[in-house]
Amino acid sequence: MGFKPVKVGICGLGTVGSGTFNVLQRNQEEISRRAGRVIRVEQIGARRPNPLADTNGTQIVADVFAVARNPEIDVVVELIGGCDVARELVLEAIENGKHVVTANKALIAVHGNEIFEAAQRKNVMVAFEASVAGGIPIVKAIREGLAANSINWVAGIINGTGNFILTEMRDKGRAFEDVLAEAQQLGYAEADPTFDVEGIDAAHKLTILASLAFGVPLQFSKAYTEGISKITADDVNYAEQLGYRIKHLGITRRTDAGIELRVHPTLIPEKRLIANVDGVMNAVLVDADAVGPTLYYGAGAGAEPTASAVIADLVDVVRTLTADRDNRVPHLAFHPSRLSDLPMLPMEEVETAYYLRLQAAENPGVLAEITRILADQQISIDAIMQHGTDDQLVPIIILTHVVKEVRMNAAIKAIEALETISGEVTRIRVEILDAN
C-alpha cells in the first residue's frame, strides 16, 4: 500500500464528466480501499466549470490538449465525445505515454483499431468499459469473465431511448412519434434523435461487442443498421398476440461463413428474460459454448452509471501499472497478433426468421398468391394470422421459419408487385434467442 496517488486528468465536464468527478470525490475512501491507492483528479480540461460538480480547488484548463501534455498526469479520461477532437486528444495522450479511459463509443467503433495500435506501441492501456451499455460491466464480462468460452452470439438492448419508446408503445398503445417527442422532452433523446432511433448508437456499441466476442478488428462500416421509426402500434399488438415482444436489438453471431453484425427491430419470445427489460434500461445476452446463456442488465446511460464504468476502468488501469504489457488484458480480448480475419457477413447472407405484415384486398385468391411466392423462395410458414376488419384492406400477418435474407428480399419484392397487395410489406426479423 506504499504507492503514490494516481493523478488523473478529466477532459470534458458535461454530464458524464461531472458525474465522474462527483463519484470519485464521494466514494474516494471506498475506492482507495479497493484500488490500493488514491485516485486524484489533478486537472480538468473544460471550457468552463459545471455547476453539477463542486470542482473548487481542482485546476481547470480550457485547452483539453494541455491535459494530454501535462507531465504530472498518469491517466487521461476522455469525456468530450464526438470523433475528431477526441481522436486527436486520445492519440496525443498516448503519444505522451499516458493511459486513457474513454466512454466514447463512436471513437472506439470508428477509430479503435488505430488507437489500440498506438497504445500497444507506447505500452499504455486504453480502457473503454463505459462505451458499451453504460454502467453494466459488459466489456469486462465478455473479455475476462467468459475467457474460457467460444462465444456463439451476443444480443443486446443497448440503446435506452429506443427501448423506452418501444416499452411505451407496448404498455400504453402510444404511437412512435408521440413517445419520441416525450423522450426528447425528458432529455432521453437528443434534439436530433437519429443516432438513437436509427440504430447508429447501437451499431457503434455492437461493433465493439463483436470484436470482444470474436476477436476480429473493429469494422463499424460493415454493420447493418435499421431503426425503429417504422414500427407501428399495430405491429406491437400483433407481436404480442403471437407471444412476442418487439425490441431494438444489436445482434452479432459467429457462423462458419462469417460474422453477422446487425441492428434492427426484432420479435423475441415474451418468455425470454431480455424481453422483459423495459424502459431506458439496457441488457446484453451472451450465448457461449461452456457457460450457456448469461445476461447482464443495468442502466445504459446517465451521469453516475457511466461514471461507475469510467472509474472501474481507472481502477483497472491503476492495477496494471506494474504488470508486464503482454500480461495485460488485451484491448479487444484477444492478443493483437492473434486476431481473426473471419469476414463480416453482408445482410443478404444472414439467416433469420421473419414477421411480415401486409395489406391485402379482400380477394379469395390473395393468400394462395402469397404462399406460392414464399414457397418459390423455399420460405416455410410458421404461423399466419388474418384479421377481420371492416376496411376493404385486410391485414395479413405471417411468421416464417429461418431463411436467408436474400430470399426474403426476393419474396417481398414479388409480393409487393401483386395487384391485390397495397403499399409496402412490413418486415421485422424474428429471433428465438435460445442457446445453441
User: Considering only residues 199-218, where is the footprint of a copy of itself by CB under 8 A?
Assistant: 215
Residue type, 81: G
Rounded-to-integer distance, Cα 414 and Cα 402, Å? 19
User: What's the closest the beta carbon of residue 75 comes to a copy of itself, in angstroms?
Assistant: 14
Site for a copy of itself in 70-129 (CB under 8 A): 129
Query: Of 187-195, 232-240, 299-307, 408-416, which segment contacts a copy of itself by CB under 8 A?
Result: 299-307
The cell numbers describing 17, all together, are 464528466
Nearer to a copy of itself, 200 or 283 (CB): 283
Rounded-to-integer distance, Cα 319 and Cα 408, Å? 51
Taking CB under 8 A as the criterion, the residue among 96, 219, 320, 363 binding a copy of itself is 320
User: What's the closest the beta carbon of residue 74 comes to a copy of itself, in angstroms?
Assistant: 14
Rounded-to-integer distance, Cα 90 and Cα 65, Å? 9
Query: Of 190-198, 291-299, 374-382, 404-412, which segment contacts a copy of itself by CB under 8 A?
Result: 291-299
Site for a copy of itself in 7-66 (CB under 8 A): 19, 23-24, 26-27, 30-31, 33-36
Query: Of 188-196, 309-317, 359-367, 423-431, which segment contacts a copy of itself by CB under 8 A?
Result: 309-317
Asked if 357 and 396 touch (Cβ cutoff 8 Å), the reply is yes
4 binds a copy of itself (CB under 8 A): no
Of 63, 27, 57, 23, residue with least CA distance to 42: 57
Rounded-to-integer distance, Cα 250 and Cα 286, Å? 12
Taking CB under 8 A as the criterion, the residue among 94, 197, 267, 307 binding a copy of itself is 307
Catalytic residue at 205? Answer: yes
Measured CA to CA in angstroms, residue 103 lies from 91, 130, 179, 305, 320 at distances of 15, 5, 27, 11, 19
Beta strands in 300-371 (DSSP E): 351-361
Burial class (CB in 10 A: 0-12, 13-18, 19+), 148: exposed
Taking CB under 8 A as the criterion, the residue among 305, 347, 421, 426 binding a copy of itself is 305
Taking CB under 8 A as the criterion, the residue among 228, 310, 350, 358 binding a copy of itself is 310
User: What's the closest the beta carbon of residue 163 comes to a copy of itself, in angstroms?
Assistant: 13
Site for a copy of itself in 145-204 (CB under 8 A): 145-150
Close Cβ partners of 92 (under 8 Å, ≥ 6 residues apart): 65, 68, 69
Number of residues lying near a copy of itself (CB under 8 A): 72
Nearer to a copy of itself, 2 or 364 (CB): 2
x-marked contacts with a copy of itself along 266-285 as a string, rule CB under 8 A: -------x--xx--------
The dihedral over CA atoms of 190, 128, 79, 261, expressed in degrees to the nearest 10, equals: -30
In which residue are the cell numbers 484500488 written?
35
Taking CB under 8 A as the criterion, the residue among 295, 402, 410, 414 binding a copy of itself is 295
Close Cβ partners of 398 (under 8 Å, ≥ 6 residues apart): 354, 355, 356, 357, 358, 370, 374, 381, 383, 384, 385
Taking CB under 8 A as the criterion, the residue among 5, 292, 343, 365 binding a copy of itself is 292
Of 344, 345, 347, residue with least CA distance to 408: 347
DSSP conformation class of 321: T
Beta strands in 271-401 (DSSP E): 281-288, 292-299, 351-361, 381-386, 393-400
User: What's the closest the beta carbon of residue 406 comes to a copy of itself, in angstroms?
Assistant: 31
User: What's the closest the beta carbon of residue 104 comes to a copy of itself, in angstroms?
Assistant: 18
User: What's the closest the beta carbon of residue 315 comes to a copy of itself, in angstroms?
Assistant: 4
User: What's the closest the beta carbon of residue 355 comes to a copy of itself, in angstroms?
Assistant: 23
Site for a copy of itself in 119-138 (CB under 8 A): 129, 134-137
264 binds a copy of itself (CB under 8 A): no
Q: What is the largest CA-CA distance in the chain?
A: 84
330 binds a copy of itself (CB under 8 A): yes
Catalytic-labelled residue, pool 205, 271, 404, 413:
205
Task: Please identify every residue annotated as catalytic.
Answer: 205
